[in-house]
Structures are given as structure tokens and as C-alpha cells.
């Protein structure tokens, strides 16, 4: 297979060619590795590459799952895999090894997704940009190498946008799938809380805010991946409502006309730049043309400042857990260069947080859930900006104080983490771009458990304005 053909295919296209005998997993893996070798260095999107072992694995691969046996990438998020160490973007956690595969890693394998590397992340996956010191250089946006890929799944988004793979693992605890998808012009769905397994080594992440998933070139690849990886895991603390049927089947069906709320303003009068508002208008126009009822509405009233503090409290507490667990395992004390300054600030903050404040923060997340679900009683979906600004220039989030960072993030990714708090599904849609080609995304948010509706409408929008035809040149 030639590179040009490989780069034109989504994951299900590749699977169809595998099934017909037109190509092999080995040939696809060889293409992926060659494209990665050419493009990944400029982007700094990959780490823990296992090129030769993965090529050997593809050579002996037995076809299985919806994807058959196509190239794939795991995020450097600490998702346990016996094949790949992990660092979470931290020098302190560098080269963490695992003697088991997580439930999700096993499900990716059974879906026919063959990982050959991990993708870069910011330290502890806690930044909406991927510029970890551990990675030696920032991860760059293929649409504009001076801009951020977003984070924390920044390497994954860059790799999909650059056509290294058509689909890659991501995770989202405050926008970490949707922000990089928005920055890099690819599709990213955050699933409902409890939809995707997190075991067996843990039951939840970040107080129930975090979930895993994928970023992809096409909606149908995400739908197929979600069919393969979703489903309750025994012993999990949360369970999403059982899905009614296949997501892949759902996107092929015409939806009824929906009531869709449109948000053009943010909490606390946080300003929204012209380009995101233009993207919202573009998406709203497409939705009307598709027969949906689009209604301008204000977001529900919440204590947004209180939520930002609660989110920061939960993150800082998790930094303490990660750092102290590592130090306990190694028998070492924390050194000056173990953590980046802003994460050291978060660690120090976390050490001061009393138990009552942590519990109050969790309770605040639950209050957000109730406010959002009550609001959604009047609507099938919400359309909102993905980000309040264009993808940031590299270096713009260089704060050294953890709370200053969280406040800045709250004004950039305003419409992201609140839906991690509520547990609702939400997707970033790459339907708009500036004249210079910089992606400007919108976001669809659904009721708890209704990934099917988000995927269905996303597929309609993709058909009306196929973003797959746009490809970065760098």
C-alpha cells in the first residue's frame, strides 16, 4: 500500500481492505511506521515507540474485532499495558512498567487495534497543552507549528490529524480528548461517566471526572471503537445506562428533528472570541438545514468560580497521590527537578487540603450534574463553543502557580470540565477553520447516557461539511 492511499483511509476503510484481502496488518503497520518516522519528529507527538516489535506482532496478527488489525496508538496516560511503559509526561514517573494489561487495553486489542507507540501528554495529564519537560520539546500542532495541540491527549490529536493513524486512544478528565481534538481539527468524543472501563487497578479517576476513549478522523471510527470498548466492568463504581444498540448502526439512521440549545455566552461573562462564535453560527446553520430546531439559550446558572476551585482541589489532591506513591515505591525523596514548577505548586497546594474540602469538592461536582440534567430536560442536545479562543500559541500557559493556571484554563476551556463534573457525553466537532486553516471547533453535549444521539448528529454534520477532506501541510 502506498502512503497516499494509507493516509486517505479511516480505520473502517482499512478494516474493509483487510477483510477483502487487499492488504495485510503488516502492510498497514509498515505504512504507519514510515509515516510516523517522517512526521512525528516535527510534531514531537510520540514516545515509547516499539516499531520493530509492533511490525513483528502485525506480521503474525490474527484478524479480530471490528478493525481487524490496524495501527493504533496508546496515550502516555498510565493506561496499563505490558508492552509499553508510561510516564504521564513526568520525569518523576518516567518508565513506569506494568505486569498486566488494563481492561481497556484488552478491549482495544480485541477490537483489532495494534498499538505501536504511546502519544505525548503534559505532566500528569493536567494541562490543556502538551509541553512537558519530560518530552524534550513541546508537541506541535500540524496546522500551525507555533500553536499548541491542546492537551492532555495532544500527541494523539496531532498524530490523527497528521494521518499517522486514523484513530488513537485518548482520555478526558477536564476536556483532554475534546480540547486537542478542537485544536487539531479531528473528532473527539468524551463518553458518559461509567461507559468505558477503568480497571482493574482503579475504579475512577479524578473523583469520577475522568474517562477514556478515542480521537479519530471520522465519526464512524469513534462509533465503532465505542461499540468495542464500552460496557460495564465488574466491580466498577459507576455504570452508564445500557446502550440501546450499536453506535455504528445508530449513525446510519436518520434522527428525528431535535431541540438543540445554542450557547453563545459563558459563565461569569467570560469573553468568547469572534472565531468560536462564528464556528457556533456555522454549526447552528448546518443543524437548521438538517431539520433540527435550534434555540438560543443561556447556560444554566451555576457557581462557576466554586466549580473551578473544586476542580483544582481534586487535581491537586491527585498530584499528591501520584507523587507520594512513586516516592514510596522508589524509597526516594522529592528532588528539585522531579516536577515542573506548576505541578510542584499543585503538589504543595494538595498537601494543605483538608479532607472536608475534598469531600465538599466532590459534592460540588454532584451539584453540577443535577443542574445540567435538569437543564437538559428541555433540550435533546446543547451546542456550545469548544474553546473560547483560537488554539493557544506554545508557551502561553507557562504559569508557575497552580491556582493561577487553573483560573487561566477556566477562561480558555470554559465549556469543557463542567461536563466531566456532570458526567454527560460531549463531542468536539471540527467543522470550521480560520482563513489560515487553524481549526475552530464546536461542541455537542447530550443527556447522560446518550452518546448515540451525539454520534448520530455528529455524523449528519460530517456529511454536510466533511472535515476529513481537510489535511494539514507541514
307 falls within a domain: yes
Known active-site residue 328 = no
Residue 34 lies inside a defined structural domain of this protein: yes
Spatial separation of the C-alpha atoms in residues 99 and 43, rounded to whole Å: 30
Centre a 10 Å sphere on the Cβ of residue 271 and count the other Cβ atoms it contains: 10
- Both ends of the chain: CA-CA distance in Å? 22
**How many domains are there within the chain?**
1
Of the residues 24, 25, 54, 152, only one is catalytic, namely: 152
pLDDT band of residue 298 (cuts 50, 70, 90) is very high
Residue 257 lies in a domain: yes
| Mean pLDDT along residues 410-433 | 98
Q: What is the average per-residue pLDDT within 294-313?
A: 98
pLDDT of residue 421: 98
**Average model confidence (pLDDT) across the chain:** 97
Note the pLDDT tens digit of each residue in 320-332: 999 999 999 999 9
Q: Does a structural domain hold residue 289? A: yes
240 Cβ neighbours under 8 A, 6+ residues apart: 191, 192, 193, 194, 195, 230, 232, 448, 449
Q: Which pLDDT score, from 0 to 100, does residue 254 have?
A: 81
Check 176, 317, 361, 428 and give the catalytic one: 176
DSSP letter for each residue of 152-197: SSHHHHHHHHTTS-SEEEEEESSSTTHHHHHHHT-EEEEPPTTSS-
| Mean pLDDT on 54-63 | 98
Q: Write the DSSP string, 38-99.
A: HHHHHHT-EES--HHHHHHHHHTPPPBTTTBSEEEEEESS----SS--B-TT-STTTTB--S
pLDDT beyond 90 at 1: no
User: pLDDT for 2-14, tens place per residue?
Assistant: 889 999 999 999 9
Query: Above 90 in pLDDT, residue 260?
Result: yes
The fraction of the chain above a pLDDT of 90, given in percent, is 97
Question: In the prediction, which pLDDT does 194 show?
Answer: 97
Average pLDDT (277-285) is 98
Condensed to tens digits (0 to 9), the pLDDT of residues 348-392 reads 999 999 999 999 999 999 999 999 999 999 999 999 999 999 999
In a domain? residue 172: yes
pLDDT higher than threshold 90 for residue 422: yes
Per-residue model confidence (pLDDT) at position 156: 98
CB atoms within 10 A of CB 265: 15
Statement: residue 299 has pLDDT above 90: yes
Q: Which residues pair with 71 in a beta bridge?
A: 114
Quick one: pLDDT band at residue 244, thresholds 50, 70, 90?
Answer: confident
What pLDDT is stored for residue 329 in this prediction?
A: 95
Task: Please report, for residues 20, 26, 54, 395, the alpha-carbon distance to residue 30 in angstroms, rounded to integers and kept in the order given.
Answer: 19, 6, 9, 35
Is there a catalytic annotation at residue 176?
Answer: yes
Per-residue confidence band for 197, with pLDDT thresholds at 50, 70 and 90: very high
Check 25, 54, 75, 87 and give the catalytic one.
75
- Note whether residue 182 is domain-resident: yes
* Catalytic site includes residue 190: no
Domain that holds residue 189: 3-469
Residue 89 exposed, middle or buried by CB count within 10 Å (0-12, 13-18, 19+): buried
Average pLDDT over every residue of 127-150: 98
On whether the CB atoms of residues 187 and 429 are closer than 8 A, the answer is yes
> Residue 224: pLDDT above 90?
yes
Bond preceding residue 152 cis, omega within 30 of 0: yes
What pLDDT, on a 0 to 100 scale, did the predictor assign at position 168?
99
- Cα dihedral: 129, 132, 137, 139 (round 10): -30
- pLDDT-derived band at 460, boundaries 50, 70, 90: very high
pLDDT of residue 474: 83
Residue 219: CATH number of its domain: 3.90.1300.10
Which pTM does this prediction carry? 0.98
255 pLDDT exceeds 90? no
Is residue 474 a part of any domain in this protein?
no
Measured CA angle at 226 (ends 223, 232), to 5 deg:
150
Amino acid at each position: 500500500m502506498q502512503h497516499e492511499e494509507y493516509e486517505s483511509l479511516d480505520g473502517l476503510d482499512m478494516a474493509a481492505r483487510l477483510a477483502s484481502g487487499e492488504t495485510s496488518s503488516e502492510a498497514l503497520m509498515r505504512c504507519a511506521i514510515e509515516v510516523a518516522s517522517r512526521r512525528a519528529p516535527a510534531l514531537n507527538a510520540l514516545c515509547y515507540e516499539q516499531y520493530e516489535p509492533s511490525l513483528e506482532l502485525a506480521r503474525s496478527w490474527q484478524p479480530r474485532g471490528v478493525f481487524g488489525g490496524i495501527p493504533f496508538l496508546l496515550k502516555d496516560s498510565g493506561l496499563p499495558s505490558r508492552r509499553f511503559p508510561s510516564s504521564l509526561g513526568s520525569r518523576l514517573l518516567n518508565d513506569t512498567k506494568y505486569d498486566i494489561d488494563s481492561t481497556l487495553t484488552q478491549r482495544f486489542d480485541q477490537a483489532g487495534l495494534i498499538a505501536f507507540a504511546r502519544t505525548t501528554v503534559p505532566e500528569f495529564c493536567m494541562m490543556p497543552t502538551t509541553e512537558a519537560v519530560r518530552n524534550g520539546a513541546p508537541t506541535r500542532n500540524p496546522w500551525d507549528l507555533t500553536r499548541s495541540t491542546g492537551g492532555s491527549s495532544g500527541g494523539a490529536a496531532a498524530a490523527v490529524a497528521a494521518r499517522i493513524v486514523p484513530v488513537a486512544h485518548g482520555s478526558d478528565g477536564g476536556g483532554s480528548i475534546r480540547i486537542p481534538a478542537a485544536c487539531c481539527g479531528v473528532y473527539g468524543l468524551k463518553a458518559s461517566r461509567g461507559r468505558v472501563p477503568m480497571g482493574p487497578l482503579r475504579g475512577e479517576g479524578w473523583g469520577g471526572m475522568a474517562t477514556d476513549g478515542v480521537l479519530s478522523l471520522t465519526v464512524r471510527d469513534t462509533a465503532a471503537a465505542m461499540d468495542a470498548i464500552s460496557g460495564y466492568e465488574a466491580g466498577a463504581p459507576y455504570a452508564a445506562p445500557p446502550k440501546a444498540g450499536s453506535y455504528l448502526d445508530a449513525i446510519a439512521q436518520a434522527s428525528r428533528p431535535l431541540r438543540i440549545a445554542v450557547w453563545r455566552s459563558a459563565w461569569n461573562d467570560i469573553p468568547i472570541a469572534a472565531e468560536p462564535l462564528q464556528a457556533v453560527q456555522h454549526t447552528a446553520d448546518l443543524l437548521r438545514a438538517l431539520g433540527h430546531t435550534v434555540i438560543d439559550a443561556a447556560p444554566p446558572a451555576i457557581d462557576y468560580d466554586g466549580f473551578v476551585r473544586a476542580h483544582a482541589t481534586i487535581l491537586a489532591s491527585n498530584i499528591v497521590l501520584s507523587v507520594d506513591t512513586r516516592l514510596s515505591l522508589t524509597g526516594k525523596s522529592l528532588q528539585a527537578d522531579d516536577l515542573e514548577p506548576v505541578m510542584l505548586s499543585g503538589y504543595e497546594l494538595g498537601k494543605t487540603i483538608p479532607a472536608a474540602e475534598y469531600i465538599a469538592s466532590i459534592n460540588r461536582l454532584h451539584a453540577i450534574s443535577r443542574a445540567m440534567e435538569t437543564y437538559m430536560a428541555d433540550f435533546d442536545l446543547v451546542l456550545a463553543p469548544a474553546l473560547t479562543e483560537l488554539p493557544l500559541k506554545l508557551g502561553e500557559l507557562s504559569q508557575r502557580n497552580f491556582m493561577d493556571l487553573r483560573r487561566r484554563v477556566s477562561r480558555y476551556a470554559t465549556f469543557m470540565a463542567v461536563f466531566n463534573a456532570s458526567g454527560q457525553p460531549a463531542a468536539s466537532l471540527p467543522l470550521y477553520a480560520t482563513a489560515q486553516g487553524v481549526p475552530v471547533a464546536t461542541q455537542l453535549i447530550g443527556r447522560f447516557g446518550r452518546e448515540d444521539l451525539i454520534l448520530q448528529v455528529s455524523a449528519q454534520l460530517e456529511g454536510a461539511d466533511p472535515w476529513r477532506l481537510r489535511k494539514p501541510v507541514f
